[in-house]
Structure 1
Amino acid sequence: MSLVLCIGNRNYSSWSLRAWLAMKLSGAACETLRIPLYQADSRARLLQASPTGKVPALRSPHGVIWDSLAIVEYLADTHPDAKLWPEDVAARAFARAMCAEMHSGFAALRSALPMDMRRDAAPVSLEPSVQADIERICTLWRECLDRFGGDGPFLFGMPSAADAFYAPVASRLLSYRVELPDPARAYVQTIREWPAFVEWRDAALVEKEVIEA
């Protein structure tokens, strides 16, 4: 059985983007099944793809793996040569911690600045809670680049699972024209030019579905 990654709309589904970028990093041969969200048949199709009715979900020879972080760990186990996590113990621990924080945190930013790759306009204002999330992310990026980035330009020098997890944030900061300190601005530009991210974004921009809310 080959790998099949089930994703939502490329324009909107940040969690799908994370898993897809990790898949690209792994080098695994994989088909992509896109299930547009918020359509009349979306729920039924999603439940066929995943026990949670959510994306992403990975169909594998070992069963269905749901949740983006679990997919990353599965790919790291099955494709160790791809080095999705840094080899250095301290760097790997930091990478896993920052991905876990992304996975469970930053609710204010997610709510106020939902991913929309077609958007190119600043928000009317940023609530203090959103600004606090952005400042925390910029601090994480700066610390990671200073401690582990080496010659860069990615968080751990070469692209890793951490970049896959924070790419949707970089996309949001671009779409909403958020003002950033220089290190964060440079990192966002790195993501913007990452060939895997460009491939996803180009496909997102030609999608027809529009989700108003």
Structure 2
Amino acid sequence: MLRLHIGNKNYSSWSMRAWVLLRQAGISFEEKYVRFDGFDAGSAFKRTMSAVSPTATVPLLQDGDVTIWDSLAIAEYVAEQFPEKRLWPEDRAARAAARSAVAEMHGGFTALRSACSMNIEADLADMGRIIWRDNAGVRKDMERITAMWIQLLARYGGPMLFGEFSVADAYYAPVCSRIRTYQLPVPGEIAAYIEHVHQLPGVQAWIADALAEQDFIPMDEPYRSQR
């Protein structure tokens, strides 16, 4: 049985990618929740994760004696172990595009990720308007994301980025969540894609668990001092 270590569902965007990928694909796994209480070496989170991971981060996937400690590596491992799930597009060109889009998310869009931290439970539309007005980096990241999504949806026919659900949609699910939380402006076809992602059973299950946590963690709340 696969075991996936994750952090708080309300805040942990990297955990969401791996969890949604497995859940939406119908791959059985055991969830190991490790609460965020700090990221210094003495925190319970770091002590717990240091026992199983060389980086002491989440997500982390265990498959027997195999340990995978990076979200993109997890996606590749799962796609390799479960080829019948077709987690990457079958067409070679589409598969290359999907891997490129995922890699771009994995290593980029730092302005958006820094300014608009994931917070599923919160309504931060007012803060989103300020960020959009004042943060050119966020606007630039959103311009690139929007252009990419429009191109892929047009090329592959939707409703997912490559027609059917793939690693790419799992990877961009937290971006969709951020756009919803901060009410960042997007064109109609992008709003429709975000709604399709939001309604995926795997995403709905993650959101339901995030809302049920009721765990206010100040270090993950840059815009609120209390719920």
TM-score, normalising length: structure 2? 0.89
Query: For 1:103-156, what per-residue CA distance to the aligned partner results, in whole angstroms no more than 9, with x for missing partners?
Result: 0000000000000001112222320110110111011101111112x2x21111
Aligned to 1:211: 217
In the alignment, residue 6 of structure 1 is paired with which amino acid? H
Please identify, of 138-147 and 161-170, the stretch whose mean Cα deviation from structure 2 is larger. Answer: 138-147
Q: For residues 120 and 171 of structure 1, what CA distance do their matches in structure 2 show?
A: 11
- Checking the alignment, whether the CA contact within 8 Å between 2:61 and 2:74 is kept in structure 1 is yes
- Checking the alignment, whether the CA contact within 8 Å between 2:11 and 2:118 is kept in structure 1 is yes
Q: For residues 156 and 62 of structure 1, what CA distance do their matches in structure 2 show?
A: 33
Residue 62 of structure 1 deviates from its aligned partner by 4.7
- Checking the alignment, whether the CA contact within 8 Å between 2:4 and 2:62 is kept in structure 1 is yes
Aligned to 1:9: 8
Q: For residues 195 and 63 of structure 1, what CA distance do their matches in structure 2 show?
A: 28
Q: For residues 105 and 63 of structure 1, what CA distance do their matches in structure 2 show?
A: 28
- Checking the alignment, whether the CA contact within 8 Å between 1:25 and 1:84 is kept in structure 2 is no
**2:61 is the counterpart of 1:58:** yes
Q: For residues 104 and 85 of structure 1, what CA distance do their matches in structure 2 show?
A: 19
Q: For residues 140 and 65 of structure 2, what CA distance do their matches in structure 1 show?
A: 40
- Checking the alignment, whether the CA contact within 8 Å between 1:6 and 1:49 is kept in structure 2 is no
- Checking the alignment, whether the CA contact within 8 Å between 1:9 and 1:34 is kept in structure 2 is yes
Q: For residues 78 and 144 of structure 1, what CA distance do their matches in structure 2 show?
A: 26
Aligned to 1:172: 178
Change (3 A) 1:195 1:27: closer
Any unmatched runs of 5+ in structure 2? 220-227
**2:75 is the counterpart of 1:67:** no
In the alignment, residue 30 of structure 2 is paired with which amino acid? E
Q: For residues 111 and 197 of structure 2, what CA distance do their matches in structure 1 show?
A: 22
Residue 48 of structure 1 deviates from its aligned partner by 1.9
Query: For 1:157-204, what per-residue CA distance to the aligned partner results, in whole angstroms no more than 9, with x for missing partners?
Result: 111100000000000000001111111111111111111100000000
Aligned to 1:141: 149
Query: For 1:26-56, what per-residue CA distance to the aligned partner results, in whole angstroms no more than 9, with x for missing partners?
Result: 4322100010112541111111232110000
- Checking the alignment, whether the CA contact within 8 Å between 2:116 and 2:178 is kept in structure 1 is yes
Please identify, of 103-112 and 120-129, the stretch whose mean Cα deviation from structure 2 is larger. Answer: 120-129
Change (3 A) 1:95 1:62: farther
Q: Segments of 4+ in structure 1 off by > 4 A? A: none
Any unmatched runs of 5+ in structure 1? none
CA-atom RMSD, angstroms? 1.2
Q: How many residue pairs are counted as aligned between the two chains?
A: 210
**2:168 is the counterpart of 1:162:** yes
Please identify, of 188-197 and 38-47, the stretch whose mean Cα deviation from structure 2 is larger. Answer: 38-47
- Checking the alignment, whether the CA contact within 8 Å between 2:24 and 2:201 is kept in structure 1 is no
Q: For residues 62 and 70 of structure 1, what CA distance do their matches in structure 2 show?
A: 16
SS in structure 1 at match of 2:213: coil
Aligned to 2:48: 45
**2:17 is the counterpart of 1:28:** no
Identical-residue share of aligned pairs (%): 44
Residue 23 of structure 1 deviates from its aligned partner by 1.2
Aligned to 1:109: 112
